[in-house]
């Protein structure tokens, strides 16, 4: 809004570049323009301020579709004041000479104008469209209808207004109808979500099954390899046993051959030894026999006194080793007589 400063009986007005000021005096426009700044006397002045920037007004229209479904249409109309003098003559844009504010609410009046002008084309379109058609294509269709109607409306131009743009902010049914319309999509989304969850679970189960199969295959492969290893170890052990048995058999055969050779050699040695011993015994026996014969021959030719002396000498040599000896007087007398050379007495 314009800024008005008080200086006694005089006032100073300063407007922004987007504010068009009209100064009336004695029923005529004395001064007008955007962004003015000047001094004036309040008692003889009537002031009006018209915004010349783009103005946006939003309103809601409640209508029904062809199938009697309530619809709420929220529109935003962007417009501007093309002719401030004409607009000022149609709508009260007067401001206080002391405050610089509007004495009424001109923009609300213009908003009402736009909503009233938007109602007929909106109603005409929705009355011919079903709820589904309105929801699917209604926003663009209503916007085009409003743009066409506003441009063709001579009253808007007669009020010094120019249309800039129309935006359909929202086109929605009643809450319960909207919820009912959302139900199939919601259920479809929920079904897709459930299907996705099922697919994820199925994939998880499939992955788990694949993992289990892989683990089972791995275990089977390990068991197979373990069986092969055990079999190989058994074969190796059997081969080792066979080799050891063959080696032991060969060693046993060699030992038997060696022992057999030793036994044969020992038998031969013992046979030779026995033969030698037998021959030695035979020779010794022959020698002893010859010695005995010689000894007997010597004793036979030796006088009895000499023989007795020899016997006694030998007896004396071995007397210490004789434990017990029985000598009768007759035997002793006989030997003494023989030793003295006296023949024994005849009985």
Is the pLDDT reported for residue 47 higher than 70?
yes
pLDDT value at residue 60: 94
| Burial call 223-261: b when 16+ CB within 10 Å, e when fewer | eeeeeeeeeeeeeeeeeeeeeeeeeeeeeeeeeeeeeee
Give the pLDDT of residue 19: 93
Mean pLDDT for all residues in the chain: 85
Q: What is the pLDDT of residue 121?
A: 94
Q: Report residue 122's pLDDT band, with 50, 70 and 90 as the boundaries.
A: very high
Q: What pLDDT is attached to residue 118? A: 94
Residue-level pLDDT at 342? 56
With a CB cutoff of 8 Å and minimum separation 6, the contacts of 137 are 129
Question: Topology of 3-173 in CATH?
Answer: Tetrahydropterin Synthase; Chain A (3.30.479)
Average pLDDT (8-33) is 92
Site of tokens 């005529």: 28
pTM (2 d.p.): 0.54
Q: What is the pLDDT of residue 346?
A: 47
pLDDT of 12 over the 80 cut: yes
H or E segment and range at residue 173: strand 161-173
Tokens 């059997």 locate to: 238
Token pair in block for residue 146: 């409003």
Percent of the chain topping pLDDT 70: 86
The pLDDT of residue 132: 86
Residue ranges, CATH 3.30.479.30, the chain: 3-173
**If pLDDT is split at 50, 70 and 90, which confidence band does 339 have?**
low
pLDDT at 300 over 80: no
Of 7, 1, 26, 13, nearest to 97 by C-alpha is 13
The model's pLDDT over 127-164, given as tens digits with 9 standing for 90+, comes to: 998 888 888 888 899 999 999 999 999 999 999 999 99
CA distance 14 to 32: 12
Mean pLDDT lowest among 166-180, 213-227, 290-304? 290-304
Q: Across the strands, what pairs with 73?
A: 61, 171
Predicted pLDDT of residue 165: 95
| Of the listed ranges 81-95, 163-177, 178-192, 260-274, the one predicted with least confidence | 260-274
Beta-ladder partners of 34: 20
Q: So what's the pLDDT on residue 241?
A: 80
Within 94-174, where are the H helices? 106-128, 131-152, 154-158
The two three-digit tokens of residue 118, written as one number: 């938007």
Q: pLDDT grade, residue 188 (50/70/90)?
A: confident
- Lowest-confidence region among 66-80, 119-133, 330-344: 330-344
d(CA 78, CA 136): 24
């Amino acid at each position: 809004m314009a800024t008005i400063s008080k200086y006694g009986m005089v006032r100073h007005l300063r407007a922004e570049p987007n504010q068009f000021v009209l100064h009336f005096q004695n029923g005529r426009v004395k001064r007008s323009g955007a962004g003015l700044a000047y001094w004036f006397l309040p008692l003889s002045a009537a002031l009006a301020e018209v915004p010349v920037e783009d103005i946006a007004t939003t309103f809601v229209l409640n209508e029904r579709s062809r199938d009697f479904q309530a619809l709420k249409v929220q529109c935003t109309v962007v417009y501007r004041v093309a002719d401030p003098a004409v607009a000022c003559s149609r709508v009260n844009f007067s401001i206080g000479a002391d405050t610089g504010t509007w004495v009424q609410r001109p923009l609300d009046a213009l908003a009402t104008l736009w909503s009233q002008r938007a109602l007929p084309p909106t109603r005409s379109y929705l009355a011919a469209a079903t709820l589904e058609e309105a929801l699917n294509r209604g926003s663009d269709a209503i916007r085009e209808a409003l743009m066409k109607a506003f441009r063709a409306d001579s009253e808007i131009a007669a009020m010094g207004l120019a249309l800039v743009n129309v935006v359909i902010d929202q086109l929605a049914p009643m809450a319960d109808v909207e919820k009912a319309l959302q139900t199939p999509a919601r259920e479809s989304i929920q079904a897709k979500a459930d299907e996705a969850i099922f697919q994820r679970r199925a994939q998880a189960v499939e992955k788990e099954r694949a993992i289990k199969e892989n683990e089972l295959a791995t275990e089977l492969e390990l068991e197979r390899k373990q069986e092969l290893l055990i079999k190989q170890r058994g074969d190796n052990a059997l081969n080792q046993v066979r080799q050891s048995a063959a080696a032991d058999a060969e060693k046993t055969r060699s030992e038997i051959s060696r022992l057999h050779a030793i036994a044969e050699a020992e038998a031969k040695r013992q046979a030779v030894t026995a033969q030698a011993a037998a021959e030695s015994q035979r020779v010794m026996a022959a020698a002893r026999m010859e010695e005995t014969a010689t000894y007997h021959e010597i004793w036979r030719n030796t006088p009895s006194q000499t023989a007795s002396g020899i016997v006694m000498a030998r007896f004396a040599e071995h007397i210490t080793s004789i434990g017990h000896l029985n000598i009768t007087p007759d035997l002793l007398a006989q030997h003494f007589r023989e030793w003295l050379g006296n023949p024994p007495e005849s009985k």
